[in-house]
Amino acid sequence: ADQIINQSEIVTHAAMTYLRSLHQGPTFLDECMPRMLTIWLDFANSIQEASSVRCKDAKYISLLDNAKRQLSKLNKAIATTKAKIPTYYYLTAFPQIVSQICHTNQETYLVLKSLINKVFLDFPQQAFWHMVYV
């Protein structure tokens, strides 16, 4: 978790690069969408875990604040991208999205919830089966 916090700008840049790839079309959809979701959700989870640690020095707090800003930037980019790419892109990784429905980071949870709602509205029959056991 500390390594991800230390390299938050690189993590954000990597996720944004996958998002840009998705804007170009579905050619690498099966590689880009799951990887982008993994990077984003793991990053958010690492920040949440690091925030719960009590003993922090000034440098660590500064790194954590920067990581939180980077996560906020990433959350906004994903929320914006939601309207710009076809919904079926998210349907391809819907099980991965649904598995994170109880994400501990509130801002990330709200973006996930909006993604789930969008997929549900556009593809109710397909999305329903992924949500049966939730």
What backbone phi and psi angles, to 5 degrees, belong to 18?
A: -65, -40
Place of tokens 């079926």: 88
> Shortest CA distance to 22 belongs to which of 103, 66, 87?
87
Each residue's pLDDT tens digit in the chain (134 positions)?
A: 678 888 999 999 999 999 999 999 999 999 999 999 999 999 999 999 988 887 678 888 899 999 999 999 999 999 999 999 999 999 999 999 999 989 999 999 999 999 999 999 999 998 888 887 76
Contacts of 43 (CB under 8 A, 6+ apart): 4, 8, 11, 12, 15, 67, 70, 71, 74
pTM score? 0.92
3-state helix, strand, coil in the chain (%, to 5): 80, 0, 20
